[in-house]
Amino acid sequence: MSNFTALLEKYSKPGPRYTSYPTAPYFHTGFTESDWVRELETSQDADRGLSLYAHIPFCDTLCYYCGCNMVATGDYSKADIYLQHLEQEMTRVARLTDQRRLVRQLHLGGGTPTYLKPDDIRRLMAMFRARFTIAPDAEMGCEADPRELTREHLAALRESGFNRLSLGVQDLDEQVQKAVNRVQPVAMIEQVYHWARELGFASINMDLIVGLPHQNTTSFAHTLDQVLTWAPDRFAIFAYAHVPWMKKHQKLINEPDLPSFATRLDLQQLIHDRLGAAGYQNVGMDHYAKPDDEMVKAQKNKTLWRNFQGYTTHKNCDIYAFGASSISQTRDVYMQNEKNIKQYQELVAAGHLPVERGLRLTPEDHLRRDLITRIMCDMELDMAAFGAEWGIDFAEKFADGLADLPALEADGLVRLEPNRIIVTQLGSLFLRNIAMGFDAYLKEAAQDQQPRYSRTA
């Protein structure tokens, strides 16, 4: 066993991905629609940007590994009805929004946003543009499933202003694809990728998943060899979380076919080696990018940020999210919409903003969110400067978190200097473990009360 694999085994434990702090399991139903309306009314700042998100929950077929809030359906009328409700929700939020605020970022997620017909992609963007002021240079991205994706879909996205695309590749091995009900030949993905390049998408990401049935280092090496020939701008490589008690359709996966823990560790080693050798920078949290990517540049100049859409270069934006299960965020508040599509639509039809739960941050939450986010994004922390900025004695305030660091340093994950914590290149693969030491909610919760998280490796 290599030293890297031994560390993966040692530090593999349930932990948050820190797309927020406090994390989503701590949102509560005591936060209501009236709380969200009040927050929208009182948090308007003409100079603060907006990041818009729409959740499109529909898919043509069910991928057995899926952990998203989605529904597989061949009845397209459901999408038409859903878009009508999205428009109503947008209208209500737009009325509470200062129209001088510029939309700096817009993202479509799912499900499968490209489930929508090309004309409905245009319709959705027209809905956004009629209600919000989208900056001419806004970053606009969309997730896409190569299956049943036509050139016309991509043309509609480009005509609507989209300049970024994320393709769900997952794995190119046919046996793996059949086992998870997502068959997409290499030629199909290659065609979609070349269409996207021809149409001028500025940045293309590819999603891969490790831990799927029948995966092994030999088969996944072939997948990596192929995707690297396409040279996408970014990779997001996620670890499959098998939670059939939470996602019933995962019972369709034959558990004995899942790779062993040892094999999963070997796969992580393979990814680390192959992408590094191909020149991709590990930004952290399963994300890799070319050295000239703006995400890598933002990390170097300490302007990278993290929110529910993952890493972002748009720190100073509020997120207004639309659709079932979507999560909005202001400086002080997180709010999640109703997850059930039928109930979401009923609430909107009744004239409500479809708030299910949320959270208002305390001063302590703000402090720890800033610390954890800086570690996750900057890969270092100047403790003296941080303490001065927040008016605290850092060593006293975070004594418990600091006590965890010498063990991490002994394993080569951090380097400790006077008043500075530096995440090493190796440590960038263990960011969740490093950040968890400063998470007050994890520290305080009894073991049997802790929310369930995916493993960190």
Q: Tens digit of pLDDT for each residue in 312-367?
A: 999 899 999 999 999 999 999 999 999 999 999 999 999 999 999 999 999 999 99
Give yes or no for a cis peptide into 113 (omega within 30° of 0): no
Q: What DSSP element (H or E) covers 232?
A: none
Is 15 inside any structural domain?
no
Residues 292 and 381 in one domain: no
* Position 175 in a domain: yes
Q: What is the pTM of this model?
A: 0.94
Q: What is the helix (H) or strand (E) element at residue 343, kind and residue range?
A: helix 341-349
The answer to whether residues 212 and 320 belong to one domain is yes
> For residue 425, what pLDDT is reported?
87
Beta bridge partners of 334: 329, 359
pLDDT of residue 246: 87
Rounded mean pLDDT of 171-188?
97
Alpha-carbon dihedral of residues 102, 105, 111, 112, nearest 10 degrees?
100
d(CA 14, CA 357): 24
Residue where a domain terminates, one of 303, 326, 360:
360
My answer on whether 273 and 345 are in the same domain is yes
Query: What is the residue range of 174's domain?
Result: 22-360
**Bridge partners of 143?**
166
Amino acid at 325: S
Q: Nearest Cα to 157, choosing from 119, 208, 211?
A: 119
Is 454 contained in some domain? no
Question: What does the pLDDT read at residue 1?
Answer: 54
The DSSP letter of residue 35 is H
Rounded Cα–Cα distance for residues 287 and 63 (Å):
22
The pLDDT of residue 448 is above 90 = no
Name residues whose C-beta falls within 8 Å of residue 16's C-beta, 6 or more positions apart in sequence: 23, 432, 435, 436, 439, 442, 453
Same domain, yes or no, for 125 and 74? Answer: yes
Q: Are residues 156 and 244 in the same domain?
A: yes
Percentage of residues of the chain with pLDDT beyond 70: 97
Q: The domain that contains 386 carries what CATH number?
A: 1.10.10.920
3-class secondary-structure state, position 142: strand
Average pLDDT for the chain: 94
Q: pLDDT > 90: what percent of the chain? A: 86
Give CA torsion, residues 56, 61, 62, 67, to 10 deg.
-30
Please identify, among 312, 342, 360, the residue that sits at the C-terminal boundary of a domain: 360
Together in a domain, 178 and 202? yes
pLDDT band per the 50, 70, 90 thresholds, residue 252: very high
**Cα dihedral sign for 147, 151, 156, 161?**
positive
| pLDDT for 446 beyond 90 | no
| Average pLDDT of the residues in 376-389 | 96
CB atoms closer than 10 angstroms to residue 239: 16
Q: Which two tokens stand for residue 32?
A: 């209501």
